[in-house]
Amino acid sequence: MPELIRKRYKELIEEHILDFLPDIDHKSITLYESMKYSLSAGGKRIRPMLLLAAAEFTGCKLEAAIPYACAVEYMHTYSLIHDDLPAMDDDQLRRGVPTNHIIYGEAMAILAGDGLQSAAYEAMNKDMLLYFDDPDKLKKRIRASYEIAKGSGCRGMVAGQVADIESEDKACSREMLDYIHLTKTAALIVAAVRAGAQLGGADAETLNNLTIYAENLGLAFQIADDILDVVGSEKEMGKKAGVDQVKKKSTYPSLYGLEASKAKLMELTDNAIEALSSYYDNAEFFTKLATDLAVRGK
């Protein structure tokens, strides 16, 4: 069952992922191509899937959540494009294909990232206009957009990226590492889940439980990624392996060792699952997703 649901979510996202790019004049068409290139380069679509799942879980029609699901994936994609730039992580490969700036050049990659962030807000804002006659639904949409703004912004994803860049080539404390993981990775995952729950009009308790799930999942996700960087192959990851060590990046494996990292991954995964499965009997999708993500880092 959860596999079928996930397939359905994934198909919906793939079907609509380009729908919310504005109609771009042919004089700026490279911008469209560059944004499309990175949006179409695959990826697990974890964040939009979680948004759809949380929306459905809390009673929002799936179709109504699609603009927000795509918006959150636009945010994630813009952050990857900027993250890969020479001035940042200087990565040539992502999801098995050349990174955006390798194909389109640095200037266009910067602008594609800027354009994607802007397209995300334009899509959400435009969607709000459709609900001017339904104040209740309108408010849910504003709350959802605000979750995404907070999670992707200066106290969330962007802050994490800053702390990450500033911690390179330096001894990094465990506290700092947790901060980086919470902001750089978990914040947008939490935002996706909370945005979906806002669309469904979740009560405070459900919102809280979903948040605990997402925080634990987000941290687990990053640790699994770091473990994979040590033990995985380039083929498995679609990008270079062992990069963290070469860059002297502090990670869970480098600060705690591989075994302790695996144990932490399992603990966080259990916490995530428990946050929902103890209270709801229809949380299989969330449980299965957490389990599957953890397996990557085993």
Residues that bind a copy of itself (CB under 8 A): 21-25, 27-28, 30-32, 35, 78-79, 82, 85, 87-88, 105-108, 110-111, 113-115, 117-119, 121-122, 125-126, 128-129, 132, 135, 138-139, 142-143, 145-146, 149-150, 152-155, 158-163, 165-166, 176, 179, 183
**Which value, to the nearest 10 degrees, does the dihedral of the CA atoms of residues 270, 273, 274, 276 take?**
170
State the nearest-atom distance from the C-beta of 202 to a copy of itself, in Å.
17
Shortest distance, CB of residue 120 to a copy of itself, whole angstroms? 9
Which helix (H) or strand (E) covers residue 94, if one does? Answer: strand 93-94
**What residues contact residue 117 under an 8 Å CB cut-off, 6+ apart?**
74, 75, 78, 152
State the burial class of residue 267 (Cβ atoms within 10 Å of its Cβ: 0-12, 13-18, 19+).
middle
Comparing CB distances to a copy of itself, the nearer of 70 and 273 is 70
Is 120:71 a contact under the CB 8 Å cutoff? yes
Minimum distance of a copy of itself from residue 127's CB (angstroms): 10
How many CA atoms does the CB half-sphere of 111 hold within 13 Å?
12
CB of 208: closest distance to a copy of itself in angstroms? 19
Q: Shortest approach of a copy of itself to residue 138 CB, angstroms?
A: 7
- Measured from the CB atom, the residue of 154 and 260 that comes closer to a copy of itself is 154
Q: How far is the CB of 148 from a copy of itself (least distance, A)?
A: 9
Compare residues 191 and 276 and give the one whose CB is closer to a copy of itself: 191
Minimum CB distance to a copy of itself smaller for 6 or for 249: 249
Question: Please, which residue, 25 or 205, has the CB nearer to a copy of itself?
Answer: 25
d(CA 82, CA 160): 13
- Cβ nearer to a copy of itself, comparing 81 with 265: 81
Cα distances from 56 to residues 28, 51, 265, 297, in angstroms, run 37, 9, 27, 28
Separation CA 267–CA 275 (nearest Å): 12
Angle between helices 157-167 and 187-199 (to 10 degrees): 170
Q: Report the nearest approach of a copy of itself to the CB of residue 178 (Å).
A: 10
Closest CB 79 distance from a copy of itself, rounded Å = 8
Residue closer to a copy of itself, measured from CB, 111 or 223: 111
Which residue, 48 or 160, is less far from a copy of itself as judged by CB?
160
| Residue 98 bridge partners (DSSP) | 93
Between CA 58 and CA 287 the distance in angstroms is 16
E strands, 206-294, are none
Kindly state the helix (H) or strand (E) to which residue 98 belongs, with its residue range: strand 97-98
